């Protein structure tokens, strides 16, 4: 595991105190890479006050306007989710997710996303993730403060760092896993091709692309596999274009 390859991403955080609390939780557990996506109030003295001795994390935080910018070079992404979604996604608890993130971080850029205080991450944001993370809470009171949620995940990552990896996890993959940015280009290419094939109706897309995102997110593609699929899509588009130019039979 390489903690320097793990980023904590806070999306549209409303209260600056939660940003400071999250920074403090991260530093307690040895993580240092904080990304802030369009925070409502930042910089802010309340964030500095809550961060205490972790102000250096705030000083070095990466602030982006969009989630795409924060994740562009990431290869393994986990999104926190407190509720069931219409389309179920691979769902693990914090300890299980820490294990997967820890394995990925040895050689890849990994991210854990935390959403808004009042409504978490949107369905669209969760669809960019390979896994969803859920922290089980009491049914009597399930609300969990943002900084507390960050603390739990960072704690599990720190505890995992003391463990010895089994030998099978040390195997080197022959090609790097693809980045989030390249996956988005693939999804756009796939959707365009399916429309040209008339397999996907843009006027009534149903949930086809969401389910395909879940499929490919679950599998995880490396760069060579992605290039192969993009090549197949390109050749498919050529065949469709030739078929449309061909004179009608008879």
Output the pLDDT for position 234: 98
How sure is the predictor about 168, in pLDDT bands with cuts at 50, 70 and 90? Answer: very low
pTM over 0.75: yes
Whether residue 48 is predicted with pLDDT greater than 50 in this model: the reply is: yes
Mean pLDDT of the region 168-177: 69
Q: From residue 68, give the alpha-carbon distance in Å to each of 40, 76, 124, 182, 185.
A: 18, 14, 12, 11, 12
Using alpha carbons, select from 105, 117, 107, 93 the residue that is nearest to residue 18: 117
Percentage above 90 pLDDT, the chain: 78
84 or 227, which is more confident?
A: 227
Q: Is the pLDDT of residue 170 over 50?
A: no
pLDDT, averaged across the chain? 91
Q: Are 60 and 43 in contact (CB under 8 A)?
A: no
Q: What is the pLDDT confidence band of residue 142, given thresholds at 50, 70 and 90?
A: confident
Mean of the pLDDT values across residues 127-136?
92
Q: How far apart (Å, rounded) are the C-alpha atoms in residues 220 and 212? A: 12
CA distance 241 to 250: 20
pLDDT, mean of residues 190-219: 93
Around 211, how many Cα atoms within 13 Å sit in the side-chain half-sphere? 6
pLDDT digits (tens, 9 = 90+) for 59-71: 999 999 999 999 9
pLDDT for 169 equals 44
- Structural domains of the chain ordered from first start: 3-170 (3.40.1280.10), 180-245 (1.10.8.590)
Question: Would you state the pLDDT for residue 233?
Answer: 98
pLDDT at 206 over 60: yes
Tally the residues of the chain.
250
pLDDT reading at 164 higher than 90: no
CA dist 85 and 186 (Å) reads: 24
Q: What is the pLDDT of residues 69-124, one digit of tens each?
A: 999 999 999 999 876 656 677 889 999 999 999 999 999 999 999 999 998 999 99
Q: Using 50, 70 and 90 to split pLDDT, how confident is the model at 248?
A: confident
Interval 27-36: pLDDT, tens: 999 999 999 9
Q: Is the pLDDT at 174 greater than 60, yes or no?
A: yes
From CA 33, how far away is CA 4, in angstroms rounded? 7
pLDDT surpassing 70 at residue 215: yes
């Amino acid at each position: 595991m390489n903690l320097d390859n793990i980023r904590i991403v806070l999306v549209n955080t409303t209260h600056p105190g939660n940003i400071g609390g999250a920074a403090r939780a991260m530093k307690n557990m040895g993580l240092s890479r904080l990304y802030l996506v369009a925070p409502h109030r930042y910089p802010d003295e309340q964030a500095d006050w809550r961060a205490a001795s972790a102000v250096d994390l705030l000083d070095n935080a990466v602030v982006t306007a969009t989630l795409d910018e924060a994740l562009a070079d990431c290869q393994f992404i986990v999104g926190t989710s407190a509720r069931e979604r219409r389309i179920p996604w691979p769902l693990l608890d914090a300890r299980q997710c820490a294990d997967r993130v820890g394995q990925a971080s040895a050689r890849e850029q990994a991210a854990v996303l935390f959403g808004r205080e009042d409504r978490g991450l949107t369905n669209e944001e969760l669809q960019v993730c390979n896994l969803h993370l859920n922290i089980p809470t009491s049914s009597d009171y399930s609300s969990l403060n943002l900084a507390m949620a960050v603390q739990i995940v960072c704690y599990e990552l720190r505890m995992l760092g003391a463990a010895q990896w089994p030998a099978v996890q040390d195997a080197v993959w022959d090609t790097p896993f693809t980045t989030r940015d390249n996956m988005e280009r693939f999804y756009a290419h796939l959707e365009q091709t399916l429309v040209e094939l008339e397999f996907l109706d843009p006027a009534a897309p149903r949930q086809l692309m969401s389910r395909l995102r879940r499929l490919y997110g679950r599998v995880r593609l490396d760069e060579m596999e992605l290039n192969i699929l993009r090549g197949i899509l390109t050749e498919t588009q050529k065949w469709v274009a030739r078929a449309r130019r061909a004179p009608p039979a008879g």
